[in-house]
Amino acid sequence: MRRGRSFWGSFWLLLGVLYFTVPLLATAEFSLRAGPGRYTFSSYLTILEDPQFRASFQLSLGLALETIVLTLALLVPTAYWVHLRLPRLRPVVDFLSILPFVVPPIVLVVGLLAVYRGAPEFFIGTPQVLVAGYVILTMPYVYRSLDVGLRAVDIRTLTEAAQSLGANWRQVLLWVILPNIRAAVLSGGLLTLTIVMGEFTMANVMLFYTFPVYMNYIGETHATPAAALTLISFTITWAAMLGILFLERQLGGRQVQIGGAR
Amino acid sequence: MAYLEIVGIRKTFGEVVALDEVTLSIERGEFFTLLGPSGCGKTTLLRIVAGFETPDRGSVQLEGEEITEVPPNRRNMGMVFQAYSLFPNMTAEENVEFGLRVRGWPAAERARRVAELFDLIGLSAARKRYPFQLSGGEQQRVALARALAIEPKVLLLDEPLSALDAKIRVQLREEIRAIQKRLGITTLYVTHDQEEAMAISDRVAVLSHGRIEQIGPPAEIYENPLTPFVASFVGTMNRLEGTVQDGREGLVNYRGIQLRVNAARGRDPGTRVFVFIRPEVVEVRLVGEGDGLKGRIFSQSFMGPVTRLRIALDQGGELIADIPSARAKALTMGMEVIATFPPDAAGILNI
């Protein structure tokens, strides 16, 4: 009985592992193939030496960082204020924050183009305009992450304690609130990074050559380098995910005031 | 002009009147307690003094200066909260240092002051620990040190002991009082625990439904409650509803039985009154040993030095009596007894 259970347990585990790894291994194998039975790293070199790879990657990374900064600058004070002063508005803000999920990116981009028609050239004509869309796109993830972080600490008491000790709003936010929701802020930031690094629709419709657009172009034109590029972008996503896990493990423990009042 | 003046404060939350024309003056160096059941407005009043709430009407004055509109971070008042108020990302030491850092003190002076405070609260060994590594009592001590670090003009404590267990509660309240006396710091303390309020305060204000019922030293509040609410809230109190029979002799008629109450002297016959009697002044005898309120013991609970008897009176109503436990052995459940009290030990209030 016991033996049977462990057999089926291993079976399902193995099946799960295969489900995730076989496509990756197949992609890896394909990306290294240079003809029947011959393997080479040349497609990786092709990608890494392609100036368009570097340009599009840098563009996307820059946009991601701008999005992170802007999103956090908008959402950290908002989420904090909602928790502190407008707790009754929380369901409303919760709902607003998931709206971008409901609106497909293609609708969003068409809407954005309509809104920005007539906007000055320096804004609408550069890839920076994408950041406006990305902020909306990533808002649900970042807000949710911040919301969880803020729920874990007694925001009101900490704020009042800091104020009574003489801290102004800037000091309260930077010295007390932010350090206590650091893990939430970082995971929100890393989620934003992975989303922006993978967003295709908006950039493609607005005719900007970002990393995902480049990936799509390679995928349509060069078979083996496309496989290599897929693995490269997977690695980036994983690194970000591992970063989230690691940071949560590192910082998560300290957030909770265990022991409480005895 | 007193050190801290609270004048005609009114505060409403929607339909609810949290504070209604509250006026108080607190002297420099005084330990003043706001006592009342939950929802009486005591915490709201403390928060108004701290600056976290703005009153609808009325003003708060500190050393003759109007501070009603001053934001909390410019009031220089140290506050200790119920629990979970230490910054979880900082060590005990960094927590205490916070207010000094905000004020831009140089590092050396900060270190000196922090060392002084840990000495004061007797926790020097725990300076480098994070809040979650401290027990509840230690956390509150650090919170106290943090509030004291800024040399506040007024120390505000919002039920700082309510989340602790009984033994630590008693120990810590004595420490708080000792520290307060040593530093001579003006303190405003909020609690719902009347025993705590009695034990540590110079003066107590009893609040009910947003109004002050009575202000005075603990002994005065206990011995001479001015309203039925204070009488029933502070300590245990028997309350008998009767009519003044003879204002010269001090006789009150309780459902046909004459009670001698000195405090009833000078009141007009026919006045409806409450007679208040503390359980510890009630004497209980066996039937046949004189006159008094006749009844039957229906409950007996051992409380250590005294045993609390509940007596169902023949006339209706009940009386609580605290009898020295050694004497209570002779009195058992269901026994018919006579209860009396000294004429000068009962209080009286018009209904």
The ipTM of this complex is 0.83
Look at A157 and B81 and tell me if their CB atoms are within 8 Å. Answer: yes
My answer on whether B224 and B133 are in the same domain is: yes
Q: Going edge to edge, which strands form the sheet with B16-26? A: B16-26, B4-13, B57-62, B65-66
Exposed/middle/buried for residue B202 (C-beta within 10 Å: 0-12, 13-18, 19+):
middle
Output the domain CATH number for residue B106: 3.40.50.300
User: Tokens representing A12?
Assistant: 């399902």
Residues of chain B contacting residue A171, judged by C-beta atoms under 8 Å apart = 102
Q: Which of B84, B134, B168 sits opposite A154 (nearest CB)?
A: B84
Residue B237, pLDDT above cutoff 70: yes
Q: In 10 A of CB A134, how many CB atoms?
A: 23
Residue type present at position A161:
A
Judged by average pLDDT, the poorest of A69-83, A241-255, B34-48, B114-128 is: A241-255
Residue type present at position A173:
L
Residues of chain A contacting residue B113, judged by C-beta atoms under 8 Å apart = none
Judged by average pLDDT, the poorest of A91-95, A243-247, B223-227 is: A243-247
The whole-angstrom separation of Cα B252 and Cα A179 is: 68
Residues of chain B contacting residue A255, judged by C-beta atoms under 8 Å apart = 88-89
The answer to whether residues A175 and B84 touch, using CB atoms and an 8 Å cutoff, is no
Residue A259, pLDDT above cutoff 60: no
**The predicted structure's pLDDT at residue A261:** 34
Each residue's pLDDT tens digit, B87-97: 999 999 999 99
Each residue's pLDDT tens digit, A9-23: 899 999 999 998 999
My answer on whether B194 and B343 are in the same domain is: no
**The predicted structure's pLDDT at residue A260:** 34
Question: A170 and chain B: CB distance < 8 Å anywhere?
Answer: no
Q: Which of B75, B82, B89 sits opposite A180 (nearest CB)?
A: B89
Domain boundary, last residue among B183, B206, B232: B232
Domain boundary, last residue among B232, B254, B278: B232
My answer on whether B228 and B240 are in the same domain is: no
- Best probe of the A interface among B77, B84, B151, B169, by most A CBs < 10 A, is B84
User: End-to-end alpha-carbon separation of chain A, Å?
Assistant: 47
| Gap from B142 CA to chain A (nearest CA, Å) | 13
Question: Domain range for residue B316?
Answer: 236-350
Question: In terms of Cα–Cα distance, which of B42, B49, B41 is closest to B13?
Answer: B41
Please state the domain count of chain B.
Answer: 2
My answer on whether B274 and B196 are in the same domain is: no
Residues of chain B contacting residue A160, judged by C-beta atoms under 8 Å apart = 50, 52, 72, 79, 81, 85
The whole-angstrom separation of Cα B32 and Cα B46 is: 11
B238-250: b (≥16 Cβ within 10 Å) or e: bebebebbeeeeb
- Best probe of the A interface among B96, B100, B102, B134, by most A CBs < 10 A, is B102
Judged by average pLDDT, the poorest of A51-60, A117-126, A191-200, B200-209 is: A117-126
Domain over A38-253 is classified CATH 1.10.3720.10: yes
Residues of chain B contacting residue A156, judged by C-beta atoms under 8 Å apart = none
Each residue's pLDDT tens digit, A219-236: 888 888 888 888 888 887
Question: A254 and chain B: CB distance < 8 Å anywhere?
Answer: yes
Q: Give the residue carrying structure tokens 């407008």.
A: A86
Each residue's pLDDT tens digit, A133-151: 889 888 888 999 999 999 9
The whole-angstrom separation of Cα B249 and Cα A53 is: 107
- Cβ neighbours for B185, distance < 8 A, ≥ 6 positions apart: B29, B148, B152, B154, B155
Exposed/middle/buried for residue B129 (C-beta within 10 Å: 0-12, 13-18, 19+):
middle
**The predicted structure's pLDDT at residue A256:** 40
Q: Identify the residue with better confidence: A35 or A45.
A: A45
My answer on whether B220 and B311 are in the same domain is: no
Average pLDDT (B9-15) is: 93
Q: Identify the residue with better confidence: A92 or A101.
A: A92
The whole-angstrom separation of Cα B38 and Cα B230 is: 15
**The predicted structure's pLDDT at residue A100:** 82
My answer on whether B213 and B267 are in the same domain is: no
The whole-angstrom separation of Cα A134 and Cα A196 is: 7
The whole-angstrom separation of Cα B153 and Cα A164 is: 12
Output the domain CATH number for residue B266: 2.40.50.100
Question: A173 and chain B: CB distance < 8 Å anywhere?
Answer: no
Each residue's pLDDT tens digit, B42-70: 999 999 999 999 999 999 999 999 999 99
Look at A163 and B52 and tell me if their CB atoms are within 8 Å. Answer: yes
Question: B145 and chain A: CB distance < 8 Å anywhere?
Answer: no
Residue A1, pLDDT above cutoff 80: no
Each residue's pLDDT tens digit, B306-339: 999 999 999 888 999 999 998 888 888 899 999 9
My answer on whether B158 and B94 are in the same domain is: yes
The whole-angstrom separation of Cα B210 and Cα B37 is: 11
My answer on whether B269 and B195 are in the same domain is: no
Beta bridge partners of B338: B285, B294
Each residue's pLDDT tens digit, A61-91: 899 999 999 999 999 999 999 999 888 888 8
Q: Give the residue carrying structure tokens 């220089």.
A: B76
My answer on whether B44 and B185 are in the same domain is: yes
Each residue's pLDDT tens digit, B187-218: 999 999 999 999 999 999 999 999 999 999 99
Domain boundary, last residue among B198, B232, B266: B232
Residue A44, pLDDT above cutoff 60: yes
Q: Which of A160, A164, A257 sits opposite B131 (nearest CB)?
A: A257
Residue A199, pLDDT above cutoff 90: no
A223-254: b (≥16 Cβ within 10 Å) or e: ebbbbbbbbbbeebeeebeebbeebeeebbeb
**A161: closest chain B residue by CA:** B85
My answer on whether B71 and B168 are in the same domain is: yes
**pLDDT-above-90 percentage for chain B:** 75
Question: B75 and chain A: CB distance < 8 Å anywhere?
Answer: yes
Judged by average pLDDT, the poorest of A28-37, A162-171, B183-192, B275-284 is: A28-37
User: End-to-end alpha-carbon separation of chain B, Å?
Assistant: 35
Q: Distances from the Cα of A141 to the Cαs of A16, A55, B26, B82, in angstroms?
A: 27, 27, 51, 34
pLDDT band at A124 (very low <50, low <70, confident <90, very high): confident
Q: Identify the residue with better confidence: B216 or B223.
A: B216
Question: B164 and chain A: CB distance < 8 Å anywhere?
Answer: yes
Question: B137 and chain A: CB distance < 8 Å anywhere?
Answer: yes
pLDDT band at A258 (very low <50, low <70, confident <90, very high): very low
Q: Which of B74, B87, B103 sits opposite A176 (nearest CB)?
A: B87
Name the average pLDDT for chain B: 92
The whole-angstrom separation of Cα B101 and Cα A174 is: 13
Question: B88 and chain A: CB distance < 8 Å anywhere?
Answer: yes
**The predicted structure's pLDDT at residue A248:** 67
Residue A251, pLDDT above cutoff 70: no
- Cβ neighbours for A217, distance < 8 A, ≥ 6 positions apart: none
The whole-angstrom separation of Cα B284 and Cα B276 is: 17
Phi, psi of B25 (to 5 degrees): -130, 135
**The predicted structure's pLDDT at residue A255:** 43
Look at B132 and A176 and tell me if their CB atoms are within 8 Å. Answer: no
